[in-house]
Structure 1
Amino acid sequence: MNIIDELEWRGAINQQTDAEGIHKLVEEKSIYLYCGIDPTGDSMHIGHLLPFVMMKRFQMHGHHPVILIGGATGTIGDPSGRTTERQLQTLETVQHNVEKLTKQMNKIFNSDNAPNPLIFVNNYDWTHKINIIDFLRDYGKHFGVNSMLAKDVVASRLDKGISFTEFSYQILQSLDFHHLFKELDVQMQIGGSDQWGNITAGIDFIRKKEGPEAKAFGTTIPLLLKADGTKFGKTAGGAIWLDPEKTTPYEFFQFWLNTDDLDVIKFLKLFTFLSKEEIHDLEVKVRTEPHKRWAQKVLAFEVTKFVHGEDALDQALKISDALFNGDIKSLTADEIEIGFKNMPTFHASKESKNIVDWLVDIGLEPSKRQSREDVSNGAISINGDRVNDINADITMESSIGGRFIIVRKGKKNNNLVRLTD
C-alpha cells in the first residue's frame, strides 16, 4: 500500500499541497522529508506526538526522516496557536531543551530495526551565520507583506498585535525548508494543521529561489479532538509528557488505558502500527465486548512500548497488575513510588507502634474509637493484607523497602505512607 493511502485510511492527513504529486513522488522513490519542533520546553507531550508517529511510518516504508530542532526559531517564537507574544528564552535554556528533545527523538526513531537512521538538524547551525543585511536582501525581499498578513496564523493576531519578531517567523521557517531542500534533497514538510501557512510559504520561497519546477510539497495532520469535542492531550491533571521524569510510564500507560470507547479505534489508527485487520478485530470487540476494554489495553500497550520501550512497558504492566489484584508486596519501593505518586500521602516515623494509635497519629483516622472500629471490622489493609487485630503492631517489617507502607481503608481508598527517620 502507498504510504499516502495508508495515512488517509488512518485519518492522519488534513491538507496536502499537491495530493496527486505527493502520491506519485513517494511511489517513484525513497524521499527525504522533515518535521520541526521548537525547543520551547525540555520535553514533548502527547499533543506533539502525532506528526512524529507519521514520520516513523514514512521511515518504516523506506523513506528518510529528518527532524529539525529549532535552536534558532525557538529563540524567536512561533505565533501559531497563540493570542499573545511568547516569553523569550535565553540561549542557554534553548540549548538545554535542544539536548533533551534530541534524546527523546533518538529513542523513538533510532531503534535497532529502523531501516533508515534518523537525521537530526538544528536550524541554529545555518541561521546564526546570516547577518541582518543578508537576511533582508536575500530572504526578506522574496516575501510580500500582503501575502504574509493573509496567513491565518498572522491574521488571527492582528487585532491584539504581533511583533516583527514573531511576524518574521514564517520567513525563518521558509529559510529552513529551502536549506534542507538544497543540502539534503528534502522534498516534503510535515506539520500540524496550524503550520499550513508556514509550510506553503516555504514552498513558495523554494520555487522563487530554485525555479517554478522545483518539487517541494507539504502535508498537515488534522487537529485532533476527542469525541466530546475537547482537545486531545488535555487532562485535568495537566499535560501527559513523553519525559518519564515528568509523566511516569505507568501514568502514561494509564492515560491511554482510560480512553473512551468512542475514541479508541481512531487513536489505534493514528498512534499504533497495527494492521487494518488487527484494528478491525478490535473494533468488533469494542461493539461486542466493551466491558473487557480489549482495544484500550492494546492501545496503552502499543503506545507505551513505542515511546518508552519494552522495559518501561513491563514495569507499567507490573504496577498495573499489582494494583488491580491487590498484590502490593510484589512491588519494589521504586515501583510503589511510581504507582502511588498521585495518591493521598501521609508520613510516619520508623518506630514500631500499635496499629490503632498509628492510624490516628498519621492522620488517616480521626479518633482511636473510629480506628479500633475500622480495624475490628476488617476495613484496614496493610500492603494488600487485611488486618483486623487491634493489638497488631506496625513495624519496619511492615514496610516495603524500608520506605513505604500502603494502607487501604475500605474497598478503594488507597493511601501512601512515607516512613521517615
Structure 2
Amino acid sequence: MDLLQDLQWRGIVYQQTDEEGLKELLNKEKISLYCGMDPTGDSMHIGHLLPFLTLRRFQNHGHRPIVLVGGATGLIGDPKATEERTLQTIETVQHNVDCLQKQLHSIFDFEGENGALMVNNYDWTAPMNMITFLRDYGKHIGINYMLSKETIATRLETGISFTEFTYTIMQGMDFKHLYENLQCKLQIGGSDQWGNITTGLELIRKMLPEGSKAYGMTIPLVTKSDGTKFGKTESGAVWLDPEKTTPYEFYQFWINTADADVIKYLKYFTFLSREEIEALEVSVQEEPHLRKAQKTLAEEMTRLIHGEEALAQAIKITDALFSGDVKKLSATEIKQGFKDVPSYNHSTGEEITLVDLLVAAGISPSKRQAREDITNGAVSLNGEKVTQVDYVVDEKDRIEGQFTIIRRGKKKYHLINYVD
C-alpha cells in the first residue's frame, strides 16, 4: 500500500486540489511539504494533532516536512466564524512560538536526509513594507475571490476588519515563499484551511514562472460518534503541555475512548500498521471487555507525546488506582493521579485523629458517621483499611511527608496535603 492509499484507508484525506497530479508527483520524487499553525496559545491540544501526524506520515515515507509556526500570521489572526480575535503582543506571540516549537519537536525527526525543518513566517514577513505587500501580493488577489472564501463570507454580516480580511493573503504568501525558497510543493491542513491553501496556490500560479505547480490537501475534522466535541473533557481541553494536562490525564483520555470511536482514532493518530489495527478491530468486536484497542491507543499516544518514562508512570498510577494499592506511588505520581480529587490542607506539625480528619476534610458529615464508617471497614489510609476509631493520623501515614490518601467506600478518594 502506497502513502496515499494508506491515508485514504485511514480516512485522513478530506479534500485535494489535484488528486491525480499529486499521486503522479509522489510516485516520481520525494518532495518537501508543510503544515502550519498560529501561536494563539502556549500549548497545542489534541485537536491540533492530526494534520501534523499526517505530515509525519509523509516523513516516514521519505518526504521532507516543513513545520511552520506563524509568528507573523499569529499577530493578525485567522478569522473566526463569529467575531474578531483579540490582538496579541509580539512578546506573547514569541513566547507561544517557542512553546509550540518545543512540543512539535516530539512529533518529528529533525535528523537525516529528510529531517524536518522548523520555520517561522515572521522571518520573511516582518521585513516587508506596506507598499510591497499591496503591489506585489494584493494586486494578484481580487476582492471577489476573497469574498468567496467561506471564512470571510461567514463574517460579512457581523463585520470583519481589514486586518483579518487580509489574513488569507498572508498565509498564501507563506506557501509561495516556501515553494520558491525550499521547493515546497504541498501544503496540508485542517478542513477549515482550504481557502487559505488555495490562496497560496493562486499566488504561486500568478507570481512564479509558468509551469510552477503545487498542491493542497486537507484533513477531516475529528468527530466523536456521540456527537460531542473531540478532545474535550469535563475539565476542558486535553493539552500537550504536561503542566496543563498531566501525562496520566492524557493517558486516561485515550483509554476511555468509546468502542465506536477507538478504531477510527487508531487509524488517525497512531502509526500502527493496517494488520495491527484490523486485529484490534476484531478484539473490539469479539472481546470488548479486554479493551485492548483502548490500551494500545493510550500507550501509543502517551509514548509519542510524553515519552516512555511518562507512559510508565501513567500506567503505574492507573494500576494503583484500580487496585487501591496507592502506597506504592511517589509524591510526583500522586500529584498527577489525584489532581482533580477533593483535597484538604492540614498542618504538618499537628496530629489529628482519623475521626476528626474525616469530618474536617468533609469526607464524613459527622463524627458519628465517621466512627461508623471506620468500624464498618469503609475507610482506608494509603490503601490500608483502618478499623480503629481512636486511630491517630501522623507522620507514618504521610507519603514522602506530603500526602495522605483517604478512600471512603470503593471509589471516593480524598487527598490530604500537609502544609507548614
The normalised TM-score by structure 1 is 0.97
Aligned position for 1:4: 4
More deviation in 345-354 or 192-201? 345-354
Deviation at 1:118, TM superposition (A): 1.4
Aligned position for 2:97: 98
CA contact (8 A) 1:345 1:417 kept: yes
Aligned position for 2:67: 67
Note if 1:391 corresponds to 2:405: no
Aligned position for 2:193: 195
Aligned equivalents of 2:360 and 2:372: distance in 1? Answer: 16
Q: After TM superposition, what 4+ stretches of structure 1 lie above 6 angstroms from structure 2?
A: none
Could you give the per-residue CA deviations for residues 28-76 of structure 1, whole angstroms, max 9, x where no partner exists?
1111000011011000000000001101111111110001110000000
Once the two structures are superposed, the pairs formed by residues 174-323 of structure 1 within 5 Å of their partners are 174-323=172-321
Aligned position for 1:413: 412
Determine helix, strand or coil for the equivalent of 1:388.
coil
Amino acid at match of 1:60: N
Structure 2 CA distance for partners of 1:8 and 1:115, relative to 1, 3 Å: farther
Aligned equivalents of 2:226 and 2:361: distance in 1? Answer: 41
CA contact (8 A) 2:39 2:96 kept: yes
Amino acid at match of 2:106: K
Aligned equivalents of 2:389 and 2:235: distance in 1? Answer: 38
Structure 2 CA distance for partners of 1:258 and 1:142, relative to 1, 3 Å: same
CA contact (8 A) 2:343 2:361 kept: no
Note if 1:48 corresponds to 2:48: yes
Aligned position for 2:370: 371
Q: Which runs of 5+ in 1 are unaligned?
A: none
Once the two structures are superposed, the pairs formed by residues 22-171 of structure 1 within 5 Å of their partners are 22-79=22-79, 81-110=80-109, 116-171=114-169
The normalised TM-score by structure 2 is 0.98
CA contact (8 A) 2:373 2:379 kept: yes
Determine helix, strand or coil for the equivalent of 2:237.
coil
Determine helix, strand or coil for the equivalent of 2:54.
helix
CA contact (8 A) 1:39 1:98 kept: yes
Determine helix, strand or coil for the equivalent of 1:302.
helix
Deviation at 1:356, TM superposition (A): 1.6
CA contact (8 A) 1:14 1:222 kept: yes
Aligned equivalents of 1:111 and 1:231: distance in 2? Answer: 33
Could you give the per-residue CA deviations for residues 216-259 of structure 1, whole angstroms, max 9, x where no partner exists?
00000011111012331133321100111110110000000110
Amino acid at match of 1:121: V
Aligned equivalents of 2:57 and 2:69: distance in 1? Answer: 20
Aligned equivalents of 1:367 and 1:235: distance in 2? Answer: 33
More deviation in 294-303 or 233-242? 233-242
Amino acid at match of 2:187: Q
Deviation at 1:389, TM superposition (A): 1.1
Aligned equivalents of 1:362 and 1:49: distance in 2? Answer: 40
Determine helix, strand or coil for the equivalent of 1:243.
coil
Aligned equivalents of 1:229 and 1:320: distance in 2? Answer: 27
Aligned equivalents of 1:354 and 1:232: distance in 2? Answer: 45
Aligned equivalents of 1:209 and 1:96: distance in 2? Answer: 34
Aligned equivalents of 1:414 and 1:26: distance in 2? Answer: 55
Aligned equivalents of 1:361 and 1:314: distance in 2? Answer: 35
Aligned equivalents of 2:364 and 2:401: distance in 1? Answer: 23
Deviation at 1:115, TM superposition (A): 6.5
Aligned equivalents of 1:167 and 1:111: distance in 2? Answer: 35
Structure 2 CA distance for partners of 1:393 and 1:115, relative to 1, 3 Å: farther
Deviation at 1:27, TM superposition (A): 1.3
Aligned equivalents of 2:184 and 2:16: distance in 1? Answer: 16
Aligned equivalents of 1:34 and 1:185: distance in 2? Answer: 11
Deviation at 1:283, TM superposition (A): 0.4
CA contact (8 A) 1:2 1:23 kept: no
Aligned equivalents of 1:115 and 1:372: distance in 2? Answer: 69
- RMSD value, Cα: 1.2
Structure 2 CA distance for partners of 1:306 and 1:115, relative to 1, 3 Å: farther
Determine helix, strand or coil for the equivalent of 1:417.
strand
Aligned position for 1:333: 331
Aligned equivalents of 1:299 and 1:136: distance in 2? Answer: 48
Deviation at 1:24, TM superposition (A): 1.2
Could you give the per-residue CA deviations for residues 130-173 of structure 1, whole angstroms, max 9, x where no partner exists?
10111100110000000100011111111111111001001101
Aligned equivalents of 2:376 and 2:228: distance in 1? Answer: 44
Report the number of matched residues: 419
Identity of aligned residues (%): 58
Aligned equivalents of 1:11 and 1:107: distance in 2? Answer: 24
Could you give the per-residue CA deviations for residues 328-350 of structure 1, whole angstroms, max 9, x where no partner exists?
01110111011000111112223
Aligned equivalents of 1:365 and 1:320: distance in 2? Answer: 26
Could you give the per-residue CA deviations for residues 59-111 of structure 1, whole angstroms, max 9, x where no partner exists?
111110001110000000001x4310000000000000010011111122137
Note if 1:357 corresponds to 2:356: yes
CA contact (8 A) 2:16 2:217 kept: yes
Aligned equivalents of 2:372 and 2:202: distance in 1? Answer: 76
Deviation at 1:200, TM superposition (A): 0.7
Deviation at 1:308, TM superposition (A): 1.0
Deviation at 1:363, TM superposition (A): 2.7
Determine helix, strand or coil for the equivalent of 2:189.
strand
Deviation at 1:212, TM superposition (A): 4.5
Determine helix, strand or coil for the equivalent of 1:305.
helix
